[in-house]
Amino acid sequence: MERVGSAENDAYKRRLVGAISGFDYSLDDLKIDVFGAVAVILFMQISDPTLADILVKFAAALL
């Protein structure tokens, strides 16, 4: 992958965001563990963005 400068990176991000025509998501399996003054929150994010009329599906576990 070729490195680019900030202007090229900004242009790429603007094109990518401009290509999104739809975005559905869900946040599933919320789990909260509390240990004294500290809490750990874990959930599964399922996203279905539509980019240039192509549905892209992905899921991620977030901590």
Summarize pLDDT for 17-62 with one digit per residue, the tens.
888 888 888 878 888 999 999 999 888 888 888 887 777 777 776 6
Which residues 6+ apart lie within 8 Å of 8 measured at CB?
none
Overall pTM surpassing 0.85 (yes/no): no
With b meaning 16 or more CB within 10 Å and e meaning fewer, what string describes 34-60?
eeeeeeeeeeeeeeebeeeeeeeeeee
DSSP-derived pairing of the beta strands 54-55 and 58-62:
unpaired
> CB 19: neighbour CB atoms within 10 A?
13
